[in-house]
Structure 1
Amino acid sequence: MVDVRVWGKEQGLVEPYPLIGHLVDTGVVAGALWDGFLAESQQALVAGELGVAPWEARSLVAFWAGLHDVGKIQRRFQFQRDALKHASCAALLSDGAFSGRVAGDSGATPLGHQVASARVLPSLLAELGYPEGTGRPAGRLVVRVAQLLGGHHGRYPELPQAREVFDPLRALPELGAGGWEVQRQEHVAALREVLGHPAVVPVGAGLSVQVAVVIAGLVVVADWLASQDDFVVRQQAAAVTDGGLGAIDALRAHAARAAMEAPGLLGDAGLGRAGFAVRGFGERFPEIERPHPLQVSVDVELIQAGAFEGGPGVLLVTAPPGEGKTEIALAAAAAMGRAARCPGVAFLLPTRATADQLYRRVAAFGEANLLGDAALTLLHGAADLNERYAPDAEPGSEPRTLSDEHDASSGGASVSAGRWLRTRGRGLLAPLSVGTVDQGLMAVLPLRHNALRQLGLAGKTVVVDEAHAYDAFTHALLLRLLVWLGAMRVPVVLLSATLTGRTSTALVEAYLTGAGRKPGSYELPASSYPGWLYADAATAAVTVPSGPIDTNRPSQLDVDVLPVDHTYDPAVLHGRLGTLLRELAPVMDAGGCVAVICTTVGEAQRTFGALRNHFTRRYGQEYQGWDDRVEHAEQADGPGGGEAVGSPEGPRLRLLHARFPGRRRSAITEEAEKWFGRVGKQGVRRPALPRGTILVATQVIEQSLDMDFDLIVSDLAPMALLLQRAGRVWRHQATGAYRPAWSLGPRLAVLVPVGGDGLLDVPKSWGDVYAPSLLRRTLELLADRAGKPVEVPGDVQELVDGVYDAEFASKTPELLLKEDIDRLTDTMAREGLAQLVTIPKPGDVRSLDQLTSSDADEDIIATRLGADTVLTLPVFEDTEHRRWLDEAHRVRFPEAGDIPGGRFSRALVRELLGYVVPLAHGEWRRACTTAHEPPAGWKNETKLAEVVLLPHTTGPDGPVGPLLGKQRLTLHHELGLVRERLA
């Protein structure tokens, strides 16, 4: 008989909750998760590997989930100090069957109950008739089940020694014999009886790593849901009313109550499945008046032809920017997910800005195409700053903000995500997710709770946008992720505008390797451009377009290579500023929209400052086209908008990069999208002529942002990135009224830094952003064309591949050889490092603890080398030593006593984070002192605890930031955070 004095939960409860109650609750909730959350494809994999019917697999998984806490039946756990205040625990202590010191018990820190569960379960399962297996512990099913259940706190325990598998007391006598062993057996027997007496696993059944981690993730979620305070209190109260849980009939009634509540727990958490209506491409996207040929090809030859009906697979789509790849991905994901019984979608992008923009598009797609409600989450470190996504305040609390400007909004009702899914680490469990690629890559890093990320991906079609946009380290992690997705039978869509043929082949091969297809057993043809390639996971059968794919917007891209002396002195004829001003002259005279894309933030700031000073001299001191505090209101009225309030002369000038406070960067991005973005079927919207608009930016605008310019001026970059940037010039149709007469077609002007000898001279200020060998190869390829226009899309693939040609004929072979060696050495080092930090391929995993071996915090782990950043918070001090969050001294800095009860509301945290500026680690960080630490009360708020304050004083020319080491860091409203290196 189960002893109900053995407790499972007691924190916050008047009386401890019997362990058997929690075990039953968790098992029942796990069954509900199987029914309403776990993808049918994963259900089939579990059932297939266990050799049982799906309903039997459900019963087994529910039973296993209930067993997760059986390790709490041990002396050290039961007699914890806080629990001894309860009479039931005191009675248990005095019971002769449980009292007395255990042999070998040192009385040290209690043995973790999750480890204890992993140690006792093999013998308990064997006693039920599970096959014991032979050989090493790693190869025994009972050990794998025990180990995955032992990982319910996020980290899998190590394997036991072979002689200890069925004799756990040999190594851990503190588990307790006698009454402790009896109660473990009684709890297991009672749980099995109440959950329908699930059959034992048949002899010969196995459990692969990729399936085990999905079950482990399901157990974690079931445990979390069943441990919610309000649910436990209700279950406990009902049990007391019914006379307790000491009899099987009482436990059955308890399980029935849990079963009635379980669907509500899932619904409140936002857990479920996405269901998309079966529609044609035109019905899904009625706003597209004339679909691109690439869209038609995928729709007709894959979706309508039923190419996905064979199960999961990988779809690679390559095309220039503006060919509608996002719509293709969404339509394909809906069809692939339905066919593969993975109904959710996870859309992974290279940056936070691109994720924010796509979040709106996926929300609109979901609202128009879902058959019912399905939560959509936004996943990146600054998601709380997105007011369309994050709520203002916790339910039932009043929002408290620092200023009067606070506009709350969220996604549509059908895709809104509640508080449970917004909690750290849970967002990928939503039926629909949009986030940075890091959110997916962390599933293949040995981090705590990576099973949750693997579970979240397992029920979705995973879309990776801009698949070309990553360095060798991140690319290696992506390859490992694709291996895992292939093994888990997850459909994948890969999108790219400029992917080399070798890279695209590696991506598809990684997926097929995970799916069990051996290299050499299939052949991957070269992908057409624009085009697509689909490979079936089960057979490796490859489908390609039946013929060449046309485009709605074929173009000839004029590429002008402009050598410049890297100086901003306007007196230097071939200086950077002089050359840039000549390119911008038509804009100043006749208007138009131009993007100037710089290599670094510092370069962008210097370029913006030089242009601002020049325009001020040209148009007089009244010129303020750079200041949105003066010029902030566009009287938009359909395409073309209207004239801006402010200076009537001179082009509007804006700067956009990653070193602005979050709220400021979002405002500039939204303004840019309004000026240069597309408006439904009406083409592009832009400021009315004749006034020009110039956006100076870094690489933040080159990916996924849907903007259109009349001209792009760019620093030299690798060929693929130049072509990617060129996808923003003449991207959409614009009427003659809004396309200036001087812009006769797509044109890209490339500023090439050269030395006195006229040869490429990469500025030291560019650091290691781009490999010099790729810059040199790109420059020589462009020079070889002698001004010949680039046919888009016809020449794109050849140019992208040509940069990496092993037989590249250089005009400076010795110099290029040295640079190539440096690049390849760096690439090998990054790939080698990735192999060291990533988890093994599923087939190479010996023990599950290899998957969670790192103690690193997922908040600081990097999936992109060099991406480590510090969150800085500029603070402005006035003459009375009061502190403010803005240089105008309008928004007060919340001092220690300004937070009621010391508790930050969600709205306040979000608003504070809106003033934060990300800054790369460096010498400046080591020079920080206690003066740069946030108030003591902030340490209790996770998102604010690591913020570094940057105290600013007010000087005669405006705010002056702190001097840290040899760098002064000053925040300017129009420039962002400026790093000034002093001698």
Structure 2
Amino acid sequence: MMQSVMEWPAKSPLPDSDVEHPALYHLLDVAAVAEVLIEPFPFSPPLKQAFVALVGLHDLGKFSESFRAMLREGIAQEFRHWELTEIFLYEKDEYLEEWLGGEEDVRRCLYASIAGHHGRPPKVSLQGDKYDECLEQFGEGAESASEVLELFRTLWPEASLAELNEEDAIRLSWWLPGFCTAADWVGSNTFYFPPLAPGLEPQVYLEKARETARKAVQEVGLGSTSARDEALFSFALRPLQTACVDVPLPDGPSLVILEAETGAGKTEAALLLAQRMALAGKGRGLFFALPTMATADAMFERVKQSIGKMFDKPTLTLAHGRAGLSVPFQDLVLGQSRTGEDVPHDKVTSSAWLAHDNRRALLADVGVGTIDQALLSVLPVRFQTLRHYGLSSKIIVVDEVHEMGEPYIAQELVALLKMHRAMGGSAILLTATLPLTWREKLLATYGGEAQSYAYPAITVAGGEAVTAFAADERPQKGSVKVERLGTMDEAVHYLTECAAKGAACVWVRNAVDDAIAAVEVLRQQGIEARLLHARFALCDRKRLEQEVLSRVGRDGTERDGFVLVSTQIVEASLDLDFDVMVSDLAPMGSLIQRVGRLWRHMDRRPAANRPVPAPILKVLSPDPAVIEGERWLQGALGKGEWVYPLPDMWRTASVLFRTGQIEAPEGLRSLIEAVHGDEAEPVPPVLENAENERWGKDSAANNLACLNIVALGDGYRKAGNGADDARYPTRLGDETRTLMVARYTEAGLRPWAQADGSTNGDEKALWHLSELSVRVAKVAHLELPDQAAPAIQAIKKDWPQWRQASVTLCPVQEPEGDICAGLHYDRDNGLVFYNKEDEKR
């Protein structure tokens, strides 16, 4: 019976081979992988068998004359093989009912899910001419496809969908495609499943595939892990961390929100809480979601030190667009192996297979990445469901959740939490400045309600809130006095005086151009200020960040008189400790974050060892009591007046200068609510237009999010899409363009980044390290270098088309630093825009 079935190929032969792997063998390869992957999931044995069998049938459409002709003769298919799979299963539904049971709507819902394993759901009409045309594509393959169904029934005889109702099927319709994709990707790996000529009987081949599948799943890093009950830290726990050890957790999926000031140890508290959740069966791994790539890189190092104590032989990945440039991550990938049986239980590993693709990265036991990688699981983009599957077994930890309160990204996060809870997942949210209204929306995703005004707080959805904490015996900085500076000259004079006293100083500016201008003025005053912002090539930014950390980090040295001018990137990405701080006016939440870098490590640098007597935040701002027009900020902040919503800026100034201090933690809640909460005072009449414009923008962003986020209740076939990521952004903002700076050498154009030990001379990595992003509007009027120039084409000619179109290569004329008229780059100032008649700035 199986002879004719073996004649249908799954793939073209490998180079230098004429062996076609039979489609039946491929189906069995993938089913064998699915058996291993599904083992730790809490489904009943009959349901596990049903999912495995359905996943094995994912490529049933390859038993078609059209697919075979495409492989062997290059004839394009009118319908893709995965579309044919759904149609054939739909046609054979009566037979599948006899085998799998369950309701008709349940089965048909899941057919679309396993057919959608190439990243998007099938959309061919399930009735009419197209349906009939699909069936005709099978030709004589229809008989073989029917035989495969009969074979699978004998191989998985206990498979049953009887326990599922339609609601269950819709929920699982988003999970099953990702599960199927993961199994298919491993089962298609020719290193483990090389092409094999027909010869083995299906049952014999399946047993062989099962042995291979277990080895393959383990070595690529998907072998799953289990929680370990081992002490995570050797230091004495802080009050918040101690509370996380004792806080009661409800049964089932749990959501916990940790609210505490910067420096309270929230990351370690989250790890302690996550370990308890894992031991309670609330997740078999973790995904840390951070607001930026820089914060993700920093978290990766911290997580790596602890997860070997939390999980047994865990795999770890870094998931963001520049993960390949992280030296610690690449060292982990290249230096660790999953092949040995003697891997210590606390060993943290990774694999090249996981690191190859950000989508795969979410399949590791523990992932650290940007929140964007998780949010893509609720947008109708290609392989959205693979991300959902990867996250479904994990405890999601979202750090700096207050930064995700803007309407568009907030809606995405709410959808993510709802989707995660529906699959039994748990989550932990960390924040220093969370408005109560935003906290209430987040708690509602897990059926919880806001319980307390107190701060700090540990709030468990559906459980009790912890608001009483033991006293922290460590030295405290106390209240931070707040004083207003009216002009840039006052800020420069203050910083100059403090630096002369030996203080480590920082000026946090809202706009890059303003930061560059401030550094120029300080240098004219004889202050060798450092500059840090987002318009540096990645190699220079990393270099500068390391220098800043070495000077004013937790263990920094040579602090005396050090002055840094930075944009908002110091708010969260770097663990810095300054004696003196000046900040441009910013919304209350941002200022509180910035103050967290002032007198931060009191255990290392107590008050008696500081060159200034007390922590003071100097805020560059106009007087909130004097408003002469709608552009109240004009003149005080330069281009920084446009960065944040004007109503938030005025409310912050009004409250902060009236209060005169930031007292952490006791006074933070009232400050946050006075600007970002329901308690916010009305703006003066002259600023009401700005308030209305802000409401209008927020409403538009909210509506766009509602349109973009997948309608989970509609199921995968109807609501899934498989669009390009660029059509459905995870965040709203100005369009950006990637510039890649280069230098002229005798050998032609070479990357701006210089080879060092971190790249091992890898020129591809050096080019990526030479990139920076800039708003399109900033460069639209400039005559950027001609990308058709021979020297530039010599570099870009082998790039993929999308990269050629999206990256502008910019040679830098040294030593002047000019790129084109109006644009300059150097290693100490980054990308600088200037008018032809002005000096470069």
With structure 2 as the length reference, what TM-score do the two structures score? 0.89
Give 2:439's match in structure 1, choosing from 496, 504, 513: 504
Contact 2:290 2:398 in 1 (8 A): yes
Q: What is the aligned residue count?
A: 810
Contact 2:53 2:159 in 1 (8 A): no
Give 2:425's match in structure 1, choosing from 485, 490, 497: 490
Whole-Å separation in 2 of the counterparts to 1:335 and 1:204 = 30
Cross-structure match for 1:635: none
Q: Deviations over 1:359-404 (max 9, x none)?
A: 000000123x1453211111111111111112599899xxxxxxxx
Does residue 294 (structure 1) correspond to residue 240 (structure 2)? The answer is yes
Whole-Å separation in 2 of the counterparts to 1:772 and 1:739 = 39
- After superposition, residues 216-295 of structure 1 pair within 5 angstroms as 216-233=177-194, 236=196, 244-245=199-200, 250-279=201-230, 283-286=231-234, 288-289=235-236, 291-295=237-241
- After superposition, residues 758-837 of structure 1 pair within 5 angstroms as 760-762=632-634, 763=637, 765-766=639-640, 768-785=642-659, 787=660, 789-804=661-676, 808-809=680-681, 813-837=684-708
Structure 1 residues 268 and 734: CA distance shift in structure 2, 3 A:
same
RMSD after superposition: 3.2
Cross-structure match for 1:199: 159
1:298 positional shift = 1.7
Does residue 697 (structure 1) correspond to residue 590 (structure 2)? The answer is no
Does residue 16 (structure 1) correspond to residue 20 (structure 2)? The answer is yes
Give 1:930's match in structure 2, choosing from 771, 784, 787: 787
Give 2:812's match in structure 1, choosing from 952, 962, 972: 952
Give 2:545's match in structure 1, choosing from 669, 694, 697: 669
1:971 positional shift = 1.1
The amino acid of 1:459's aligned partner reads S
Does residue 377 (structure 1) correspond to residue 317 (structure 2)? The answer is yes
Does residue 596 (structure 1) correspond to residue 507 (structure 2)? The answer is yes
Structure 1 residues 659 and 731: CA distance shift in structure 2, 3 A:
same
Give 2:170's match in structure 1, choosing from 189, 209, 212: 209
Contact 1:709 1:729 in 2 (8 A): yes
Cross-structure match for 2:364: 430
Contact 1:427 1:433 in 2 (8 A): yes
Structure 1 residues 582 and 523: CA distance shift in structure 2, 3 A:
closer
Give 1:347's match in structure 2, choosing from 272, 285, 288: 288
Identity of aligned residues (%): 25
Give 2:33's match in structure 1, choosing from 29, 34, 39: 29
Does residue 961 (structure 1) correspond to residue 819 (structure 2)? The answer is yes
- After superposition, residues 450-849 of structure 1 pair within 5 angstroms as 450-470=384-404, 471-509=406-444, 511-512=445-446, 517=447, 523-535=449-461, 541-545=462-466, 547=468, 550-552=471-473, 555-565=477-487, 576-588=488-500, 590-615=501-526, 626=528, 653-678=529-554, 685-688=555-558, 691-734=560-603, 740-753=609-622, 760-762=632-634, 763=637, 765-766=639-640, 768-785=642-659, 787=660, 789-804=661-676, 808-809=680-681, 813-840=684-711, 842-843=712-713, 845-849=714-718
The amino acid of 2:68's aligned partner reads Q
Structure 1 residues 19 and 779: CA distance shift in structure 2, 3 A:
same
1:743 positional shift = 2.2
The amino acid of 1:980's aligned partner reads Y
Structure 1 residues 461 and 846: CA distance shift in structure 2, 3 A:
closer
Does residue 114 (structure 1) correspond to residue 82 (structure 2)? The answer is yes
Structure 1 residues 979 and 130: CA distance shift in structure 2, 3 A:
farther
Whole-Å separation in 2 of the counterparts to 1:734 and 1:464 = 27
Contact 1:131 1:203 in 2 (8 A): no
The amino acid of 2:188's aligned partner reads S
Structure 1 residues 268 and 868: CA distance shift in structure 2, 3 A:
farther
Contact 2:708 2:728 in 1 (8 A): no
Whole-Å separation in 2 of the counterparts to 1:271 and 1:484 = 22
1:479 positional shift = 1.4
Where structure 2 has 5 or more consecutive residues not aligned to the other structure, the ranges are: 337-344
1:122 positional shift = 2.1
Contact 2:34 2:183 in 1 (8 A): yes
1:549 positional shift = 5.7
Report SS of the residue matched to 1:604: helix
- After superposition, residues 323-342 of structure 1 pair within 5 angstroms as 323-342=264-283
Report SS of the residue matched to 1:347: strand
Cross-structure match for 1:317: 258
Give 2:730's match in structure 1, choosing from 863, 884, 903: 863
Report SS of the residue matched to 1:930: coil
Contact 2:443 2:449 in 1 (8 A): no
Where structure 1 has 5 or more consecutive residues not aligned to the other structure, the ranges are: 48-53, 86-106, 397-411, 536-540, 566-575, 617-625, 627-652, 679-684, 893-903
- After superposition, residues 342-421 of structure 1 pair within 5 angstroms as 342-367=283-308, 369-390=309-330, 414-421=347-354
Contact 2:316 2:366 in 1 (8 A): yes
Structure 1 residues 108 and 275: CA distance shift in structure 2, 3 A:
closer
Whole-Å separation in 2 of the counterparts to 1:17 and 1:72 = 12
Contact 1:379 1:433 in 2 (8 A): yes
Give 1:143's match in structure 2, choosing from 108, 115, 119: 108
Structure 1 residues 427 and 467: CA distance shift in structure 2, 3 A:
same
- Report which stretch shifted further, 831-840 or 357-366: 831-840
Q: Deviations over 1:906-961 (max 9, x none)?
A: 93322221111222222625755434765343314987774211122246xx2211
The amino acid of 2:431's aligned partner reads S
Q: Deviations over 1:386-432 (max 9, x none)?
A: 11112599899xxxxxxxxxxxxxxx992232110012221111000
Q: Deviations over 1:222-242 (max 9, x none)?
A: 111111123332x61xx65xx
Structure 1 residues 798 and 365: CA distance shift in structure 2, 3 A:
same
Structure 1 residues 391 and 910: CA distance shift in structure 2, 3 A:
farther
Q: Deviations over 1:692-736 (max 9, x none)?
A: 111211111101532211122110000111111111111112556
Give 2:751's match in structure 1, choosing from 878, 881, 885: 885
Report SS of the residue matched to 1:836: helix
Report SS of the residue matched to 2:741: strand
Cross-structure match for 2:341: none
1:659 positional shift = 1.2
1:559 positional shift = 3.4
Give 1:971's match in structure 2, choosing from 799, 821, 825: 825
1:602 positional shift = 1.2
Whole-Å separation in 2 of the counterparts to 1:387 and 1:546 = 40
Whole-Å separation in 1 of the counterparts to 2:647 and 2:110 = 51
Structure 1 residues 944 and 561: CA distance shift in structure 2, 3 A:
farther
Report SS of the residue matched to 1:231: coil
The amino acid of 1:285's aligned partner reads F
Whole-Å separation in 2 of the counterparts to 1:597 and 1:611 = 14
Report SS of the residue matched to 2:619: strand
Structure 1 residues 906 and 20: CA distance shift in structure 2, 3 A:
farther
The amino acid of 2:9's aligned partner reads W
Structure 1 residues 852 and 708: CA distance shift in structure 2, 3 A:
same
Does residue 83 (structure 1) correspond to residue 72 (structure 2)? The answer is yes
Query: Which structure would you say has the larger Rg?
Result: 1
Does residue 170 (structure 1) correspond to residue 159 (structure 2)? The answer is no
Whole-Å separation in 2 of the counterparts to 1:332 and 1:805 = 28
Contact 2:102 2:162 in 1 (8 A): no
The amino acid of 1:257's aligned partner reads K
